[in-house]
């Protein structure tokens, strides 16, 4: 989360941490960071955050999810742990830990036409991929093998990778644009 805060503050945003339902009302956009999606899911339910976040997403609040955050924005999770839920909002099926144990983490340069040049230097850490996406979802980036790793639908943005750790700030700019427009 610290890296997201640094990037967003660098872009001029006023950033606060949301841990409780009442704190959600004080923000105009939300970043769901990486981590372990099943743990974030469990904690969000334990702290009464699931319903408020679902309601905020349905009301059009801009949300950017990276890695585990992308999993939490997916309507369907493949290879989730038993009972794992998501907030949903993106009509996608996401496969957790899609690169298996041999290739836990890797970095690559990704062409993202929406962001122009240069390509995005992307860090994948036990990352998910988008296995299928409905017609409402725009694909922003694919790996060389065609697998989808960045998507958008209205004010929702998700990436399998972590742009916040490499000094890349264009995805956060895109997110802030939707916050300002919302």
Q: Rule CB under 6 A: which residues touch ligand GLN?
A: 34-37, 67-68, 71, 96-97, 125-126
Residues 6+ apart with CB under 8 A from 118: 109
Contact yes or no for 10/172 (Cβ under 8 A) = no
Does 172 qualify as catalytic in the annotation?
Answer: no
Nearest CA-CA partner of 71 in 48, 82, 87, 57: 87
Complex with ligand GLN: residue 22 or 104, whichever CB lies closer: 104
Among residues 67, 114, 169, 172, the one annotated as catalytic is 67
Helix/strand/coil for 58: helix
- Give min distance, CB of 54 to ligand GLN, in A: 18
Q: Active site residue: 162, 168, 172, 173, which one?
A: 162
| Least distance from ligand GLN to the Cβ atom of residue 180, Å | 27
**Catalytic option among 4, 164, 168, 172:** 164
Nearer to ligand GLN, 100 or 135 (CB): 100
Give the nearest distance from C-beta 36 to ligand GLN in angstroms: 5
Q: For ligand GLN, give the closer residue by CB, 95 or 152.
A: 95
**Parallel, antiparallel or unpaired: strands 90-95 and 129-133:** antiparallel
Residues counted in the chain = 182
For the question of residue 164 being annotated catalytic, the response is: yes
For ligand GLN, which is the closer residue by CB, 96 or 152?
96
CA distance 166 to 72: 23
Helix 2-10 × helix 170-181 angle, to 10°: 70
CB of 19: closest distance to ligand GLN in angstroms?
18
Instruction: Please give the backbone phi and psi of residue 46, each rounded to the nearest 5 degrees, phi first.
Output: -60, -35
Please identify every residue annotated as catalytic: 67, 162, 164
């Amino acid at each position: 989360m610290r890296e997201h805060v640094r990037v967003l503050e660098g872009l001029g945003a006023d950033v606060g941490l949301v841990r409780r339902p009442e704190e959600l009302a004080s923000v105009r956009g939300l970043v769901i960071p990486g981590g372990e999606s099943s743990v974030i899911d469990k904690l969000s339910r334990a702290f009464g955050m699931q319903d408020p976040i679902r309601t905020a997403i349905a009301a059009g609040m801009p949300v950017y999810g990276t890695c585990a955050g992308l999993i939490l924005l997916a309507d369907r999770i493949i290879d989730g742990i038993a009972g794992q839920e998501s907030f949903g909002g993106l009509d996608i099926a996401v496969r957790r830990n899609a690169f298996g144990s041999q290739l836990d983490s890797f970095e690559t340069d990704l062409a993202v036409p929406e962001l122009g040049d240069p390509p995005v230097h992307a860090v994948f850490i036990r990352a998910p991929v988008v296995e299928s996406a409905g017609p409402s979802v725009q694909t922003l980036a694919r790996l060389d093998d065609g697998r989808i790793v960045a998507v958008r639908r209205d004010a929702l943005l998700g990436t399998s990778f972590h742009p916040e750790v490499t000094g890349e700030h264009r995805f956060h700019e895109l997110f802030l644009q939707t916050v300002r427009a919302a």
